[in-house]
Amino acid sequence: MKALLICEYREGKLLDSSYELVAFADRLGADRAMVLIGSEAEAPRVNGTVYLADAAKYGEYNPDLHKRIVLAAVERENPDYVVFVHSSYGWDLAPRVAARLRAGQVSEVVGVVDGKLEVGLCNAKLRRTVTPKSAKTVVTIQAGAFSPAASPQGSPRIERIDLADTASALEFVGYEPAEQKEVDLSRAEVIVSAGRGVGKKENVAVIAALAKAMGGELGASRPVVDAGWVEHSHQVGTTGQSVSPKLYVACGISGAIQHLAGMKKSDFVVAINKDRDAPIGEVADVLVVADVMQFVPALTAKLQK
Amino acid sequence: MFVVVCIKQVPDTTQVQIDPVTNTLVREGIPFIVNPYDTHALEEALRLKDRFGFRVAAISMGPPNAEATLRKALALGVDEAILLSDRAFGGADTLATSNVLAEAIRKLHHQEGVGLVLCGKQTIDGDTAQVGPGIATRLGYTQLTLVDRIDAIDHLRCRIRVRRKLEGRHEVVEAPLPAMLTVVRELNRLRYPAVPMRLASQEAEVKVWNNEVLRLDVNTTGLKGSPTWVSRIFSPEREKGEIIGDGVHDPAGTAKLLIDKLVSKDLLPC
């Protein structure tokens, strides 16, 4: 069994998530080869073949060209699995490759059990195992789900891929920066975060009051930021900030794995949630089963005494 | 020109419960909603209608009761609503689903030309994010995922310029029409149905297209046309944190227990 792992390269750097792909292949027990559209200096530190195409020529992302480079590597390696990280890059590119290969695709895999792929379902409350029936399968893995080796070592055998035709219907116009980070949560010792369980925008003030009473900063989960209740600079998780405070209090946060990946390095985690089965319980040291809007004011009041 | 919006009826996953005995999904009493990301695709289609006078068709594949979802779209102002429903479509994975949706779009295209297909970036019950791209590939349309702004549509040159939401930055790209866009929530704010529209939508027609209309090879639809299948659905096992107090019935007492615990761990000053 063989897996072709598609590395990710952004702003001139190989992303560490590329080593999560290696961890996934190891869990699957698959031989591996990798593809990097980047630069040789940034080649992943692994043994085995790395197909390298130059980002200076093909862009950090161009769907037409990157698809053709991946397909060229697929042709040479004939892998059983083609694996991406479930980031915006894999999100866009994986289904293009799957469609071209007429392969089944399994998105956002969180685990491997007996060679079967596990994916989350219904906001990670459930999991399902998916069995591919096609000859090749395209997979995206959830960021943070497969822990890579602490210090990857190895020397790749570089094979270059060049496309004869670099025409593309898509015209890259430019990048725009995301909103500035106004709050630096990475240095906070105490973070109190609001999740969807707070119910509505007006209720965020109640969580902010608890954060103040505990001498900490306000954090938030992605749904709350997406809904416009809290500024993006407060977001904790893979698309926000990664944090490692002494104390993390999750208020009404069910614990999507992207959020967990951003806060699981906290020393001590308190979860306040009405659902005792919510995935946040997986990383919480202490769980209070309650409606946040009933419990948090009581807690703040006691702290202020 | 048609703008086609693909919408899906999904269970409200915030209300999904697990049966503690059988460890399976409790299906009874779970409300169905329009997939939240799809509502933003629908909103954007209606804005394009307001701006450019495009006609909007909403399509959905699902069981007969998914008609309710399309009626909501009619209440918001779509011009046509079509339910793709047939036993032969049931049990489909993302590949087989995109096959049916693509065929319906092809049929609409023969009616009056399709310039844009809009989908939510993913569904909340399946989270696979593949159906939109599958449609684009089958139809040979430009694929633009994770769109958070539509900058311009140039009819003469048949081009569209959009902004895509990436990690830590945005990307602006220009591409040829027709195009399939998957959209994120930041794209727009939703409108609410006006009462007269809501009333009118009860009378309006939701067309139903079954496989006698679409005439697809049944080996490419439903369970038969699906290269992935789900062998097991289960509730993940995990170690739980310690549950303290009774937060529901005794918030004040539980707050005290929690504070004592944090003080004993030196996480709060005495």
Q: What's the pLDDT tens digit per position in B191-237?
A: 887 778 778 888 889 999 999 999 999 888 888 888 777 767 776 66
Q: What residue spans of A78-229 are helical by DSSP H?
A: 88-101, 204-213, 222-226
Q: Can you tell me the distance from the alpha carbon of A99 to that of A84, in angstroms, rounded to the nearest whole number?
A: 15
What amino acid is encoded at A67 in this protein?
K
User: What's the ipTM?
Assistant: 0.82
Domain count, chain A: 2
A264 touches chain B (CB under 8 A): no
Decide if A96 and B143 are in contact by the 8 Å CB cutoff: yes
The β-bridge partners of A53 are: A37
Decide if B259 and A10 are in contact by the 8 Å CB cutoff: no
Q: pLDDT value at position A182? A: 64
Task: Write the pLDDT tens digit of every residue in A74-111.
Answer: 999 999 999 999 999 999 999 999 988 988 899 999 89
B148: Cβ contacts below 8 Å, ≥ 6 apart: B163, B164, B165, B170, B183, B184, B186, B187
| Weakest mean pLDDT among A243-247, B106-110, B172-176 | A243-247
Question: Do A116 and A191 sit in the same domain of this protein?
Answer: no
User: DSSP assignment, residue A174?
Assistant: E
Q: pLDDT value at position B14? A: 63
Question: Do A103 and A195 sit in the same domain of this protein?
Answer: no
Q: Furthest-apart CA pair in chain B: how many Å?
A: 74
Listed in order, strand segments (DSSP E) in B49-186 are 55-61, 80-84, 114-120, 142-154, 159-165, 169-176, 179-183
Instruction: Let me know if residue A36 belongs to a domain.
Output: yes
Instruction: Let me know if residue A172 belongs to a domain.
Output: no
- Of A99, A125, A160, which residue sits at a domain end? A160
- Please state the rounded mean pLDDT for residues B45-58: 95
| Weakest mean pLDDT among A15-24, B10-19, B41-50 | B10-19
Q: Can you tell me the distance from the alpha carbon of B211 to that of B189, in angstroms, rounded to the nearest whole number?
A: 36
Question: Do A190 and A257 sit in the same domain of this protein?
Answer: yes
Q: Furthest-apart CA pair in chain A: how many Å?
A: 73
CA A224 to chain B, closest CA, distance in angstroms equals: 12
Q: Which fold has domain B2-220?
A: Rossmann fold (3.40.50)
A103 touches chain B (CB under 8 A): yes
Question: Do A147 and A12 sit in the same domain of this protein?
Answer: yes
Q: Per residue, what are the HEC states of A229-270? A: CCCHHHEECCCCECCCCCEEEEECCCCCHHHHHHHCCCCEEE
Residues of chain A with confidence (pLDDT) below 50: none
Domain that holds residue A19: 2-160
Instruction: Let me know if residue A137 belongs to a domain.
Output: yes
Instruction: Let me know if residue A167 belongs to a domain.
Output: no
Sheet-wide strand order for A190-194: A217-220, A190-194, A247-251, A268-273, A286-289, B242-243
Angle at A279 between CA A273 and CA A280, to 5 degrees: 55
User: DSSP assignment, residue B30?
Assistant: P
Q: Is the pLDDT of residue B238 over 70?
A: no
Q: pLDDT value at position B128? A: 73
The β-bridge partners of B116 are: B3, B179
Q: Can you tell me the distance from the alpha carbon of A98 to that of A102, in angstroms, rounded to the nearest whole number?
A: 6
Instruction: Let me know if residue A173 belongs to a domain.
Output: no
B237 touches chain A (CB under 8 A): no
The helix/strand count (H/E) of chain A reads as 8, 17
Note which residues in 115-144 of chain B have CB less than 8 A from chain A.
124-130, 133-134, 137-138, 142-143
Question: Do A240 and A207 sit in the same domain of this protein?
Answer: yes
Q: pLDDT value at position A180? A: 57
| Minimal Cβ distance to A295: which of B11, B227, B251 | B251
Decide if A133 and B128 are in contact by the 8 Å CB cutoff: no
Task: Write the pLDDT tens digit of every residue in B139-150.
Answer: 999 999 999 999
Question: Do A145 and A207 sit in the same domain of this protein?
Answer: no
B169-176 and A81-85 strand pairing:
unpaired
Question: Do A22 and A151 sit in the same domain of this protein?
Answer: yes
Q: Is the pLDDT of residue B241 over 90?
A: no
Angle at B33 between CA B116 and CA B124, to 5 degrees: 70
Rounded to the nearest 10 degrees, what angle do helices A63-77 and A88-101 cross at? Answer: 60
Q: pLDDT value at position B90? A: 86
Instruction: Let me know if residue A258 belongs to a domain.
Output: yes
| A245: CATH | 3.40.50.1220
CA A45 to chain B, closest CA, distance in angstroms equals: 24
CA A16 to chain B, closest CA, distance in angstroms equals: 14
Instruction: Let me know if residue A169 belongs to a domain.
Output: no
B266: Cβ contacts below 8 Å, ≥ 6 apart: none
Question: Do A253 and A150 sit in the same domain of this protein?
Answer: no
CA atoms within 13 A on the CB side of A4: 23
Per domain, the residue ranges of chain B are 2-220, 244-270
Question: Do A6 and A153 sit in the same domain of this protein?
Answer: yes
Q: pLDDT value at position B264? A: 83
Q: pLDDT value at position A242? A: 84
**How does the average pLDDT of chain B come out, rounded?**
87
| Phi, psi (degrees; rounded to nearest 5) at A255 | 100, 50
Q: Considering Cα of A247, then A252, then A253, then A254, what sign does the dihedral take?
A: positive
CA atoms within 13 A on the CB side of A290: 30
Closest alpha carbon within chain A to B37: A226
